Amino acid sequence: MILYVNACVRDNSRTDRLARALLNKLGGEYTELYLPKENLLPLSRERLDERTVLISKGDYSDPMFRYAKQFASADTIVIAAPFWDLSFPAILKLYAENIYVTGIVSEYGPDGMPRGLCQADKLYYVTTAGGPYVADFSFGYWKSLAEQYFGIRTTELIKAEMLDIVGSNPEKIIADAIAAL
């Protein structure tokens, strides 16, 4: 199963357009998780305490674990997130907070090192930027999580940048990014 994690909040999102072109190239069916419509909650003290108790019991039946289970069971993951303020939309950080569940997406070995439990072989991170793109606090974050904690061996960045620079041709930039898929 391909999981499409869509963190694009704007109508006619260029990032979503690029991601859907990738999904089309990958072929097959996919499950879309449109984050702006999900009721993602941050880990408050109460939610964190509840989650900790359930994890310590090995009880992952609570609905709060549904995102982690879905993520861990995907064969391929496509994350679409526009580049905002040198990072990604806050809703995607809330998603990361909700999926990082020890016992579902990762575990810690006797040496204290994380081992990934995710089924996916590849995670694609799709983004667009009005100016120059800096991967450190967006793709870099997800690449580290995927490879070091989730057990996803391969990550790939797909981007279109400089879209809003005076004199640029955003349609050509997007078309070129799609053609390069």
Angle between helix axes 170-179 and 14-26 (nearest 10 degrees) is 20
Residue 92, C-beta contacts closer than 8 angstroms, at least 6 positions apart: 5, 7, 35, 79, 81
**DSSP summary character for residue 146:** I
Per-residue pLDDT of the chain (181 residues; tens, 9 = 90+): 999 999 999 999 999 999 999 999 999 899 999 999 998 999 999 999 999 999 999 999 999 999 999 999 999 999 999 998 889 999 999 999 999 999 999 999 999 999 999 999 999 999 999 999 999 989 999 999 999 999 999 999 999 999 999 999 999 999 999 999 9
Q: Name the class of domain 2-179.
A: alpha beta
Number of H helices, E strands in the chain: 6, 7
What is the distance of C-alpha 47 from the center of its chain? 22
Q: CA-to-CA distance for 132 and 94, rounded, in angstroms?
A: 25
Tokens of 135: 């991967």
Q: What one-character-per-residue DSSP string does 17-82 give?
A: HHHHHHHHHH-S-EEEEEGGGS------HHHHHHHHHHHHHT---SGGGHHHHHHHH-SEEEEE--
Q: What is the pLDDT of residue 166?
A: 97
Q: What is the pLDDT of residue 28?
A: 87
- Each domain of the chain, given as residue ranges in start order, spans 2-179
**Sign of the four-CA dihedral 5, 12, 179, 20:** positive
